[in-house]
Chain A
Amino acid sequence: MAIDSLFILNTSGKPVIEKHWCEEASVRKDTTLTLPAFLRYLEGFDTIKEAEPIWYYPPSSTVCVHIQRNDLVYLCTMSSDVGPLQVLDFLDHLVENATEYIGNVTEVTLKENFIIIYELLSEMMDSGSPITTDISLLKNLVPPPNFVNRVIENVTGIGLDSDASPQVNVSSIPWRSSGIKYTRNEFYVDMVETIDAILESNGRIVSCNVSGSIICDCRLSGMPDLRMSFNQPSLLDNLSFHPCIRIPRWESEKSLSFVPPDRKFKLATYSIDSGVIQNGIPLHMSGRASFESNTCNLQLTVMANQQMVLKSSGAASTGALGGNLGSLGGPRKKALEDVKIELPLPTTAYNIRIQTKKGAYSVDQSKSDQTKLTWQLKTLGLNDNSVDLYVQFSLKDSTSSTIKSDASSRPALSAFAQFKLTGVSASSVKINSLKMIRETYNINKGVKTITQAGTFQMRF
């Protein structure tokens, strides 16, 4: 069971990097037979997104598994049965780790750092089976580049670290190596909650899911042992944990107990049962659509959830966290930020007229399969009560009788919103305290809460 080859392809389908773990014969087969066939397969779709990620090519009896990130396609080929999720996960790890090493992974950065990618690949995978994907372990084996080093390398051709012997952490906590030292001990937590919701045109919530993740940035010396507790741990549902978390302790005490990895890591993810979302949704949307012969009138109303916005402004209270956890970020705005509404219109729409008092709008008709109306509001705060957008457009039709009064035959329209709200969580879950044992120094702690929209849809 093994992955045969990996190809990283650019938008034009040319391999930027390829790596093979299989025998020479399979290498030939993959590069001359499977890869061209796969590219033809991709060409069959309007967008790469629509291509099924797992595809079988019978002539070479090869399974192709691919993901798409940042305009690059990562393709794995295999000729035996490997769990497809394993391959997808490996590719995700690869992208994640590469991002950690070289920043945003694009064709340009890949070309600049191909040596590092190659070294990473040879540590991450051995003869087609993933061996090490944990970033903290990899950093020991492949030293990450830094700017000074790169300059020296450019001048002298050889980096500083090239003589340093690599080490591997074989202790029982492989994610944290010993001897870490910081002059300023800091621990910052980002609680990011993403809301996926479907609203009806009258504003009623059809479905609403909140999924959160706890992302930590840990700069602590030595071997700290942390315990994080929440105000309402019972609300946290369907958790997944970083391996450092002691699951039995969570089961018994409902607090997260762990020895953190160094630097940035995702501690846990959770979801909130939609029945207990106490704060409601940050953005109210409602709309009305009316059809008269071939003309359609739309009215879209958006309004910020005043209570949540109010809370967000008052969220700087640090008392609950024992005075140590200060709030992060600059001065808070009492508003929803980055509000953007997208409204896909039928392709047959023409003569589009838009009217609004706030924000900027644009219509993108460049794509053949969709006309997209974008309404940029930027901020939506306490002062803006409700903001309206009026859209009028006509539909050209081959059969003029299509649009009838019959509700079932008119096109389904929906609007999608994006927003960000800092300082308040949709679930009202908060980190109550963060305690450290086994190390004596003081830590600077900080929690930042962000609520943002995932797929936030309103149907007319």
Chain B
Amino acid sequence: MQRAFGESMSKYLKHAVGFAQDAVEKSLRLSEGIIENAKDLGLDTTGQFFDTAEVKLGQVSKELNGKTDKEKLMGLKRLIALIARGQDVSSFFPDVVKNVASTNYEIRKLVYIYLLRYAEQEQDLVLLSINTFQKDLSDKNQVIRAMALRVLSGIRVPIIESIVLLAIEKCSTDPSPYVRKIAAYAIPKLSRMSPGSNEELIGIVTKMLYEDSPMAIGAVIHAFDSICPHRYDLIHPHYRRWCRMVIDIDEWGQIVVTNLLVRYARTQFLDPTSVKSPADQPQAQDYSESEDDFYSDSSDDNNQTSAKKSQKIKPDPNNDDNTKLDPDHSLLLDSLVPLLQNRNNSVVMTAVSAIYHLAPPYQFTKLVKPLIRLMKSSRESAYVVLDNIIEISRQHPEIFESYIKDFFAVTASDPVYIRKKKLQVITHIVSQNNIDVLLPELEGYIRSSREDLVKGAIKILGQCFLTIPTHRQQSLPMFLKLLKNRDGGRDYILGEVVKTVSLVLMQSPPAQESGSSAASKQQPNNDYIANPQLIYATICYLSRFITDDSVNNDEARAKYYQLVCYYSDTVFKPHALDVLRLAAKTFKDQGRWTKLAIIDLDAQLMQQGLKKDTASPEAQKLLVQLHNFIFTLARYDTDYDIRDRARFFRSLLPLDGNVDDEEHSANRLSSILEHRSGLLPFIYPRSALCSTKPGDLFGSVLRKERLGSVSLSLNRHIPGHIHLPEWPKTKPKEKVDRGEVGGAGQALRRGFDPTRPQQQQFVDPYIGGSSGIYAHQRQTAAVSQFADPDADEEDEDDLDAFLNSEDERPRGTRIETSHISAYGDNIRVPQFQEYDNDSTSASSYSGSESRGSDEDDDSSEDQSEGSDEDEHSPTNDGAAGGRGIPEIPSFYKNYDPIGDEPQYGHTMADKFALVTHPSDSALYDHQRLDANRFLYPTTESGGSDNINANSASSTPILSSGTSKLAGNHHPHGNNSDHDQGDQANELLDSSSIWK
């Protein structure tokens, strides 16, 4: 019975469900039908307004003049639709402006939108609407008042300047913070329209700075920033109040307020870089109770460097309390910390930027997590945030070290630009501590089919090589494996490896050639990078790939020639000329960058080789012949830059190819060297080659722009970028009153206290009638009489305080100078920028200066053709003594690659100074073998070619010399290089062209 009941029940339920589903479908169809019907009936849906606006333009005028609000609204909607589509409907201005006084709020809103768009073009007609706005300014509804002011100030008609000024003044004391906010936003608009009114506006802003509604204060400071951003004297009385308030301000206000407070603090307090974390200071500090998390590991490092800096900065030895923060300074830092947890990304970024520019370095750890959170929010934000992380990690890599996994590139979801930036961050933060996590990841990247990822991984490997000495044994096999990998589809790998290895080697400090005092103090140095024999072997190894043409990448080949050039006077000296000889042979087939690099190599060798004591006459003769050959080819090259480069060097090395006159030319050169000692060094200063000064193989340089700005993201100066003031060198002497701190302890969040009555709705002024507003005005008028002279006085006082700070200089000039100093290096050595792929600036010097030298070289053409055959002749009968102890090329004396750099240059040099790790002997043997095998391939097919025959015959002797060289375990000290040179002389005996 029950079972039967159950069955019938379930049947019933099934029916019910089916019925319900039917009903849903039917109702759906019905509603669709209704919409269709509506369309058929010709009722305008809003979408049709948008699409048909153009067609029905003819009836707009009629509609605007219609009797009902409905008609007017239709006409206005059509107009707005056309505005939204970017069409010009300014011809309807007279019809629209009539409706400005409409009682319908909806109509008025649309009229305002139209007015704001076209008022600038119809300056006369818009005056018709002014009366309405003025009437609205006294409306009882705060939104209407605000809207009237917003439109009035936004219509950009200079004639009404005084009306707007009055309106702003009136609204600036409005009881509603919303209206005051809009009044403050009107100030920059008026100032832009008529700069003449700035005086009055500053007066208004000064009064408005006393604003205590979190809603309006952001707008007030926005106004301050746009009309008098450097009147820090006006900030003093509000500073502490704002520090307390900043948490309660709305998000866009927080950004503005924070930025102002940062600039203020940079003019008032001392550089905090030397401030130690409270843990390092045994004595209790009353202001440090809230700073519980800090990065104690890094503080040692930072303190050492900054201690030096601060000593330099501080002329006054009595002023020694730079080791602790000013209480006001730390008040600001404390109040910025909660902003890091804001939901608005740009607020967080602003707070990060502020803390980064204001806080002592030990506090930077707290920036890491918020930054990583922002990075994960959206790919667009990640783009911006990563730029800033790159900047921070360049200077403080240690704080990101343990977060390396967050920067692993995800191939599927990250666009190329994100991947690139992530890899760049990894380059900065890779260290001893995280290398083990990174290596498996890198192997994955190298296997990837994405070219950018593979190249990036190789660069990171190169960076690991530089920064982590103990890791070298691990990563070298990876490199070698990569080099052996002749993957058909991915031949860019080889090129990238050659490029990176070349770059890495060029980042090493110049190997000391003679026993200078610095070298004699050095420890026995078996480290890979600083070890001349290993460098030698590596270059030989790379040579293999260049000579057998397996590297097709132009840039990689160019980097190789730069590398040879870089070591042409030190470890690779014996073969530099040979490299040039082989390069000359294939010169015409090379790519653009390679040709330029070969020309540079030629010039470099010429500069060294023509000094009488460094080379045999035969070598010099060959060199001159090669020079003429290469430069003749370069002169008729199709590429403008190559011709230009050749001309440039020819004017510096004015040699006519007359070998007999070689003594004369050498003298000429040495005289040039003396006279142009300021110029020649730029042929190859080491640091100019390494475009990547503070250890960045991605070729980016340190930026001075403030974090979070668009200038930083774009790597260029965008107008309107306000540089941060430099810290004052001394503490401002006079005490300034920074206002009340406010209630003791943390103010209750948002000022919202559950125990207080909370309907804090501001009373609309109509309650008090218009007299209320008048009273306000009277009051403020009185204030303004006193306020202005007051402000002036303060200004004068403060001038003393700021006199030393650069900030008092006019903005424009300051930006100019800092711009130049940031690029100073590049301006002086324009030709090297080309290697940074910066082709836009490549032609920054023009070739016109060497027109003359063009002509006097005509005669050398025939000779150079002859020299093509001549160069094979044996040239081995010179005195050997000349080449053993070359003196330091004069440009190293004159040019200190570290000292000449901008101040941030030290970091890399410091790193190198520390690189003293003993190298593994197995690795070392490997290198030697490779060098022997590959330097001059004996099996080259073109045996009939004289050049090849020559090089082949020289191979055994060369390689024995090499192995002897490589096996030479002399400490890299005082005499090792002499020994090296002498031994090489013995061994290289008869075949060496250098003899």
* Contacts from A to B (Cβ < 8 Å): 1, 15-20, 23-24, 31, 49-50, 52-54, 56, 61, 63, 65-67, 78-86, 88-89, 92, 108, 111-115, 117-119, 122, 126-127, 129-134, 141, 154-159, 161-174, 178, 198, 206-207, 209, 211, 223, 225, 237-249, 259, 266, 269, 271, 274, 344, 346, 397-399, 401-402, 406-412, 414, 416, 437-438, 455, 457, 459
Contacts and interface: CB of A to CB of B under 8 A. Distances in A.
A115 B80 contact: yes
Contacts of A19: 84
Given A406-B485, A411-B449, 7 more contacts: A79-B720, A84-B384, A84-B713, A115-B80, A170-B761, A416-B412, A455-B410
14 contacts: A1-B226, A1-B720, A78-B710, A82-B710, A85-B381, A111-B46, A119-B113, A122-B109, A154-B45, A158-B69, A162-B105, A198-B410, A223-B758, A269-B343
Instruction: List 5 A-B pairs, minimum CB-CB distance, nearest first.
Output: A80-B720, A157-B70, A399-B488, A246-B749, A162-B106
B750 to A, nearest CB: 6
A412 B448 contact: yes
B250 A83 contact: no
A216 B762 CA distance: 29
Given A114-B80, A115-B46, A414 B412 contact: yes
A455 B413 contact: yes
Interface in B106-123: 106-107, 109-110, 112-113, 116-117, 120-121
B746 interface: yes
A169 B411 CA distance: 47
A52 B383 contact: yes
B343 A242 contact: yes
B364 to A, nearest CB: 16
B346 A398 contact: no
B285 interface: no
Contacts of B255: 83, 86
Nearest to B103: A163
Contact of A31 (B86, B379, B746): B86
B543 to A, nearest CB: 24
B252 to A, nearest CB: 5
Interface string B322-333: 000000000000
A141 B721 CA distance: 33
Given A113-B46, A114-B81, A412 B444 contact: yes
Given A54-B714, A170-B761, A88 B381 contact: yes
Given A81-B710, A158-B73, A402 B487 contact: yes
Contacts of A134: 250
Interface string B305-342: 00000000000000000000000000000000010011
B758 A402 contact: no
Contacts of B722: 81
Nearest to B751: A172
Contacts of B344: 89
Given A88-B381, A170-B142, A170-B176, A459 B74 contact: no
Given A122-B113, A157-B74, A239 B380 contact: no
A54 B383 contact: yes
Nearest to B38: A154
B752 interface: yes
Interface stretch (B211-219, B465-473, B867-875, B925-933): B211-219
B342 A241 contact: yes
Nearest to A88: B380
Interface residues of B, number: 134
B253 to A, nearest CB: 9
Contact of B383 (A53, A131, A238): A53
Contact of A237 (B106, B144, B369): B369
B733 interface: no
Contacts of B852: none
B443 interface: yes
A56 B80 contact: no
A61 B716 CA distance: 11
Contact of B150 (A49, A126, A438): A126
Given A223-B758, A239-B341, A168 B142 contact: yes
Contact of B384 (A49, A54, A122, A406): A54
Nearest to A48: B415
Contacts of A53: 379-380, 383-384
Interface stretch (B180-188, B533-541, B550-558, B828-836): B180-188
Nearest to B478: A408
Interface string B148-183: 001000101000000000000000000011100110
A67 B416 contact: no
Interface in B470-511: 481-482, 485, 487-490
Nearest to B705: A81
Contacts of A409: 447, 485, 487, 490
A399 B489 CA distance: 8
A407 B385 CA distance: 35
A66 B113 CA distance: 24
Contacts of B146: 168
Contact of B748 (A67, A238, A246, A274): A246
B698 interface: no
A408 B750 contact: no
Nearest to A83: B708
B892 interface: no
B714 A63 contact: yes
A243 B85 CA distance: 36
A238 B369 contact: yes
Nearest to B189: A127
B710 A83 contact: yes
A17 B49 CA distance: 14
B206 interface: no
Nearest to A161: B106
A178 B716 contact: no
B373 A240 contact: yes
B185 A131 contact: yes
Given A54-B383, A165-B143, A410 B84 contact: no
A17 B338 CA distance: 37
Given A92-B378, A115-B110, A159-B106, A18 B215 contact: no
A460 to B, nearest CB: 10
B817 to A, nearest CB: 18
A61 B490 CA distance: 39
B709 interface: yes
A83 B488 contact: no
A410 B318 CA distance: 67
A240 B342 contact: yes
A154 B449 CA distance: 57
A211 B104 CA distance: 48
A79, A198, A243, A246, most chain B CB atoms within 10 A? A243
Contact of B408 (A86, A207, A416): A207
Nearest to A113: B46
A166 B344 CA distance: 27
A408 B385 contact: no
A269 B47 CA distance: 37
B713 A54 contact: yes
A81 B84 contact: no
A81 B720 contact: yes
B719 A156 contact: no
Contacts of B746: 248
B417 interface: yes
B350 interface: yes
Nearest to A257: B749
Contacts of A241: 341-343
Contacts of A20: 117
Contact of B752 (A122, A172, A269): A172
B349 interface: yes
A404 B178 CA distance: 71
A172 B749 contact: no
A174 B408 contact: no
A54 to B, nearest CB: 5
B247 interface: yes
Contact of A88 (B117, B215, B384, B481): B384
B597 interface: no
